């Protein structure tokens, strides 16, 4: 009965803006033996939201709605699971995350150091394409709710290897689209001199889950999934568990209410299939990266298995060089390695799909800032430093494409 009441309450939020006053984010430090207990926590408290999973290699961050803060802490303390408050009031963090911005912006006045709505990002894409001859707008696909989403192709007009950069797959990870916008800015502004674009074409998709992203602005800041209606209890599918890469295996959930729900069928999400078709249509893709947040990881396949790829030595070399470059910018420490080794097993992911199915040797997945102090509510003052260090990591991958080591 308790579970039914909670689920009904959350379903009622579908038509109202969800607020998070006095919700807390707890950082939990379980022993290996206690992680199984944490995995069962949603059975008693279905409204909690794991920001980092119970099977992660490090601490576990749990968003706890205010009604459950006391009982969850009692549970943790009863089982002697070490925990601390990381975010005291989630709504306060959300309120402090954004700053006001002008209603009308053009490319000259565009502020890269604030978070932008989908409409603002779409207008920015048009403005970039109008201002720079090397930029072309490419339709990736249309979402479940009928929103077109686009990539920007940056090319000097030659038939060269391609590097594909995807952002915004998980809706609530706002620093990723912001970083993608900065990446395009850096590339177009450097295009008149020696640059990455002399050696390759770059495709950047700022938002690959437009319905979910819009929903984080209008209804639920913490929404992660797509917004597809599968005639189940809860809407949406995790678009990074829906790919044809050991779909429905370890690290993905069969529950439609779980943020890691793998979907009713493999590649069921139109956003996933659209991205797969789009990348497959690009000639000679040699590098791909799916940019996420948070935790500060720079990873590569495999996610669905603890086995390593045939290119493990090369990918480890690129990963280590990338995190060294990242650290050289602002001193931030990132971890690198296979996804299953660094964080957890995760079936149905982008990096595994593009490595195995399309044969993109240099396939990566990144988790940007921070390590949990703000989590998904990273304040805008961190956008630029995050983008700067991320670009340093991207330049390393690009250098390996240039050298021919990512070619098949």
Positions marked active-site: 367
Nearest CA to 382 out of 299, 293, 284, 306 is that of: 293
CA atoms within 13 A on the CB side of 51: 30
Residue holding tokens 């390593």? 308
Do residues 388 and 186 touch, judged by C-beta distance below 8 A? no
The 10 Å CB-count burial string (b at 16+, else e) for 62-80 is bbbbeebbeebbebbeeee
The sheet with strand 82-87 has its strands ordered as 49-50, 60-64, 24-29, 82-87
Nearest CA to 116 out of 127, 126, 129, 103 is that of: 103
DSSP 253: B
Do residues 332 and 312 touch, judged by C-beta distance below 8 A? no
DSSP 382: G
């Amino acid at each position: 009965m308790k579970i039914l009441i909670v689920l009904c309450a959350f379903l009622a939020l579908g038509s109202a803006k969800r607020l998070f006053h006095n919700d807390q984010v707890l950082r939990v430090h379980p022993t290996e033996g206690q992680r199984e207990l944490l995995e069962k926590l949603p059975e008693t408290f279905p409204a909690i939201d794991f920001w980092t999973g119970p099977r992660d290699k490090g601490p576990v961050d749990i968003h706890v709605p205010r009604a459950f803060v006391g009982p969850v802490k009692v549970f943790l303390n009863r089982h002697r699971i070490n925990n601390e408050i990381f975010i005291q009031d989630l709504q306060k963090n959300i309120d402090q995350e954004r700053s006001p911005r002008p209603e009308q912006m053009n490319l000259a006045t565009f502020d890269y150091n604030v978070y932008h709505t989908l409409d603002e990002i779409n207008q920015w894409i048009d403005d970039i394409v109008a201002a720079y001859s090397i930029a072309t707008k490419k339709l990736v696909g249309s979402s479940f709710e009928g929103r077109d989403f686009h990539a920007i192709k940056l090319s000097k007009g030659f038939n060269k290897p391609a590097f594909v950069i995807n952002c915004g797959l998980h809706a609530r990870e706002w620093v990723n689209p912001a970083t993608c916008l900065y990446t395009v800015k850096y590339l177009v502004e450097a295009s008149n001199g020696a640059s990455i674009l002399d050696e390759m074409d770059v495709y950047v998709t700022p938002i690959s889950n437009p319905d979910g992203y819009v929903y984080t602005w209008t209804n639920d800041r913490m929404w992660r999934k797509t917004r597809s209606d599968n005639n189940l209890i809860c809407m949406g599918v995790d678009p990074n568990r829906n790919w044809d890469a050991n779909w429905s295996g370890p690290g993905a959930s069969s529950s439609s209410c779980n943020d890691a729900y793998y979907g009713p069928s493999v590649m069921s999400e139109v956003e996933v299939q659209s991205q797969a078709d789009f990348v497959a249509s690009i000639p000679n893709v040699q590098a791909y990266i799916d940019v996420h947040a948070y935790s500060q990881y720079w990873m590569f396949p495999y996610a669905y298995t603890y086995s390593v790829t045939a290119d493990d030595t090369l990918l480890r070399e690129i990963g280590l060089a990338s995190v060294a470059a990242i650290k050289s910018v602002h001193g931030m420490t990132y971890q690198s390695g296979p996804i299953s080794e660094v964080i957890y097993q995760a079936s149905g992911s982008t990096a595994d799909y593009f490595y195995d199915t399309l044969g993109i040797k240099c396939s990566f997945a990144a988790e940007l800032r921070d390590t949990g102090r703000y989590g998904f509510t990273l304040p805008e003052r961190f956008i630029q430093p995050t983008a700067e260090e991320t670009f340093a990591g991207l330049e390393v991958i690009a250098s390996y494409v240039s050298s021919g080591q990512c070619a098949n």
